[in-house]
Amino acid sequence: MNRIHNTEVRSWLGLLVVLGPVLLVAMDGSVLFLAMPALTEALSPSADQSLWILDSYGFAVGSLLIAFGTIGDRYGRKRLLMIGAALFGLGSVGAAFATSPELLIAFRVLMGVAGATLLPSALAVLGTLFTDPRRRAQAIGIFAATFAAGFAIGPIVAGQLLSHFWWGSVLLINVPVVLVFLILAPILLGEVRSSGGVGVDIASVVTSASGLLLSMYAVKHSAADGVSVGSLVVGSAGVVVLVAFGRRQRRIDNPLVDFTLFANPVFTIAIITGFLPLAAWSATAYLAATYLQSVLGLSIADAALLAVPGALVLTVAAVVTPAVVTRIGRSAALITAHFTIAAGLLLLLPTGIGAGIGWYIAATAVAGIGYGISFSVVADIAVAAVPAERAGSAAALAETGNELGNALGIALFGSLAAALFRVNGPDLAPTLTETLHLPGLATAALDDARSAFVSGLHVVAGTAAALHGILGAVAIRLLRSGAPAPGKSDSTPTATPSRRRRPADIRS
């Protein structure tokens, strides 16, 4: 009895150790947003360099997740976690004390590479810490909540630090967490790797990383600056490389991505669910922050405080979702997530230039329920769908969807809002922020600019809500026949390490 108790305590302590790097990786996707004015004053980056300072981290994480998920499976997850954490800490110190934009970009890339090693291995290692399916689902829910909370609290933490310290402080907070992890991880985490002894296919690693990087860059460049010959060439090259990657995965015996998993509709919709909510969340969070400050005139601190209720709801939803899934099943949870997010996004439509704080809080709270469900369920399905030695690569698929959604959400939906502002605004400057800083701006022009921005926010929220509604309807159609009976769970099939799980093994 004491041995069982000690093992359980050790498992939960191991989870706490793993959550530190996870929180940092999520936070660092948004922590520099508020620091950019001070950073720009200190380093004087060009407009293109500013873009790369913000985007290089996400590009590196998103393009390398799949590769490092499988590398951890083959060569050891704890080993990769230790290496990744050390590099993340070194990159954070280098970025914090960077003396030029070029150095900062280089260290942000290093942090992104390290972050790509941490996420899939950290999620996959939970399968070894928690062998009981129910405990594992609870742990994954906490993991998902931590990851989601990191995105939400990044700007809040940055705002507090920037009010007392220089811009590099938002990166130095990573160092103590990394040091604690490096000390405790060897004690609390065991090593797990594939028993097959098959090496990693280098060609698959190169094609997956380069294809994702080229495609992401082309989409973001086209969204920000318009479609050009260069972006079309880069995007086409990315698509060609990704197609070659997909064909190679079907031919080789040790693929980075097991595409047979996508034959199951629950798994497929779950991976899509990993992308769309993050895209909607990142875009509406960015636009809503501008709305609160530039339209309603709130301070940065007040705007950050208004985001707290939604962040709390999101976190709680991610934690309790595994318990709910045991009663309603993962299919019902996926469907609920999409319709709840859609309902929350629609609550942004009544906001206006004179008032809208109440609608904003209600929108983030309602949508937060769906966001929390989606983060938790997607992670659970990814880990539960495969044998233990393939958990890293499956988890990487889910995390890649999250990172791609976060990286592309602002670019795609943000460009839609920007285009609508240029069409409907007073045509004095390309953005609301630039318009508000024009000297001698007439009251009528100011109202027109704010109205145009709010209209863009409404269109983005409505479009994202419609996409979630469509995906929810598709989920009902595809998953209805496989929905579990009340009281039965389809959330935690036990992975068998002796064979690759067939699509039929993932109960819907």
Amino acid at 14: G
What is the per-residue pLDDT for 97? 92
pLDDT for res 351? 93
More confident residue, 469 or 403: 469
Name residue, tokens 């290496």. Answer: 83
The chain-wide mean pLDDT, for the chain, equals 77
Half-sphere exposure of 38 (CA within 13 A, CB side): 18
In terms of average pLDDT, the best of 58-62, 74-78, 109-113 is: 109-113
User: Residue 142: is its pLDDT beyond 70?
Assistant: yes
Secondary element (H or E) of residue 239: helix 229-251
pTM of model > 0.85: no
- Give the model's pLDDT for residue 497: 36
pLDDT score, position 45: 80
* Opening angle at CA 268, ends 62 and 285, nearest 5: 50
User: Is 466 a residue whose pLDDT tops 80?
Assistant: yes
Q: Is residue 360 scored above 90 in pLDDT?
A: yes
Region 168-196 average pLDDT: 78
How many angstroms separate the Cα of 192 from the Cα of each of 86, 126, 205, 395, 460?
A: 19, 11, 21, 15, 44
* pLDDT at residue 238 tops 80: yes
CA distance 205 to 217: 18
Can you tell me the distance from the alpha carbon of 350 to that of 254, in angstroms, rounded to the nearest whole number? 52
Q: What is the pLDDT of residue 484?
A: 41
Would you list the DSSP string of 398-430? Answer: HHHHHHHHHHHHHHHHHHHHHHHHHHHS-SSSS
Is pLDDT at 127 greater than 70 in this prediction? Answer: no
Residue 152's pLDDT band, with cuts at 50, 70 and 90, is low
End-to-end alpha carbon distance in the chain: 35
Predicted confidence (pLDDT) per residue in 257-298, tens digit: 777 777 777 677 777 877 888 788 878 887 887 788 788 888
H-run or E-run covering 130: none
Are 145 and 315 in contact by the 8 Å Cβ rule? The answer is yes
Which stretches within 425-484 are classed as H helix? 432-436, 443-479
User: Which residue, among 440, 434, 390, has the nearest Cα to 258 in the 3D structure?
Assistant: 390
Beta-carbon count within 10 A of 165 CB: 13
Banded model confidence at residue 485, pLDDT cuts 50, 70, 90: very low
Please tell me the predicted confidence (pLDDT) of residue 73.
66
DSSP string of 245-296, one letter each residue: HHHHHHHSSS-SS-GGGGGSHHHHHHHHHHHHHHHHHHHHHHHHHHIIIIIS
**pLDDT > 70 fraction of the chain, expressed in percent and rounded:** 77
Q: Is the pLDDT of residue 405 over 70?
A: yes
Q: Is the dihedral of CA 269, 270, 272, 276 positive or negative?
A: positive
- Considering 130-134, 301-305, 354-358, the range whose residues carry the highest mean pLDDT is 354-358
Determine the Cα–Cα distance for residues 148 and 128; give it in Å rounded to an integer. 23
**Calpha distance 455→466 (Å, rounded):** 16
Tokens of 311: 């962040």
Q: Report pLDDT for 24.
A: 78
What domains sit in the chain, N to C, each tagged with a CATH number?
1-198 (1.20.1250.20), 201-253 (no CATH), 258-483 (1.20.1250.20)
Q: How far apart are CA 140 and CA 307, in angstroms?
A: 24
